[in-house]
Amino acid sequence: MSNAVDPLAITVGTGCNIRCRHCLVEPNLGSESISEKEIRSLVLEINKFSPGHIVFTGGEPALYLRQIRQILSGISIAVPPKVTLITNGYFAGSRAETESVLKGIAHLYKVVVSYDRFHAEFVEKRKISILLDVCRDLGLQVKIVCAVETPMDLVFLNSLRSPGLVVSIQQILPMGRAKKNGMEYRCASFDRGVLDKKCPNLGGMVFNCGSGFTVCCGPLASFADKSEYVHGTIAEHLESVFYRILSEYTFGELAAVSGWDTVRLNPEHSVPCRICTALIPGIIDKARNGWDPNKKGL
């Protein structure tokens, strides 16, 4: 098992059955559906790197159950990976429908439900209740991820909480439809703690259909020219300058490389994805022009 590819998140398609105002999926993230050729190549990569955990995401991955089953049926490693499904829960119209979907995914052990005041405009809470009940009855771990634009959105969380239910929050980034609609979580002040951090996705990997492999789950993976950030194989990505920089440097060290005055950073730079997106393109240019990321002497 490779510690650099665990978990492996797989975007099986960017298609979705609802159109939330806060959706972060960018048009350039990937294709609407994973292709047969991509499935074959992806299975080879999985069998080579043996991730212990696979996360199916989208879009809405439950729209791509055939492709998910095809991927899982091709995995031949000795210990099959545990599987997580991230979903909006649209399919949970009844217990029977819900069980049919969940039981049809081999090695499924966890369901992450994306639900908040924005999803609630399209998916009724009754379906979420059915989904949670079925997950518990099947012995599956379950968690709700609630997107927030302002601290007031935390009030919505109160309507979701029940004994034993894990609920986490995700701050809305200015990406995709959220950016188009002028939506983002605005930090009150700059949190200097981010300067001691590295990319929170390190240790994992993402495969975006129609695009490739990347450690990035933020804006860089959706750039029109993303050749520095997304690669055709896992090995290519692990050997890239981009991956090396993220692995070796904290955001504070990257700010120093860029000559930033960290005393004057804006509140939005408190978010790892935001400070990374602001720093990395310029640092990649420095590497093209002779800066060696292997030499950490600043």
Question: For position 90, which CATH number holds?
Answer: 3.20.20
| Total domains in the fold of the chain | 1
CA 13/CA 78 separation, integer angstroms: 27
pTM of the entire structure?
Answer: 0.94
The sign of the torsion formed by the CA atoms of 241, 247, 248, 250 equals: positive
Q: Are 142 and 165 within 8 A, CB to CB?
A: yes
Q: Are 28 and 227 within 8 A, CB to CB?
A: no
Q: Decide: helix, strand or coil at residue 226.
A: coil
DSSP string over 271-286:
SHHHHHHHHHHHHHHH
- Domain-located, residue 293: no
Cα separation values, 16 from 24, 54, 61, 62, 87, Å: 12, 20, 8, 9, 10
Q: Which domain holds residue 219?
A: 3-288
How buried is residue 222: exposed, middle or buried, by Cβ count under 10 Å (0-12/13-18/19+)? buried
| Tens-digit pLDDT profile for residues 195-218 | 999 999 999 999 999 999 999 998
Strands 205-208 and 8-11: parallel
pLDDT of residue 158: 82
- Domain-located, residue 283: yes
C-alpha torsion 126→127→129→133, nearest 10 = 140
| Tens-digit pLDDT profile for residues 105-130 | 999 999 999 999 999 999 999 999 99
- Domain-located, residue 192: yes
- Domain-located, residue 238: yes
Model confidence band, residue 298 (pLDDT cutoffs 50, 70, 90): very low
- Domain-located, residue 196: yes
- Domain-located, residue 295: no
- Domain-located, residue 40: yes
The mean pLDDT of the chain is: 94
Q: Decide: helix, strand or coil at residue 140.
A: coil
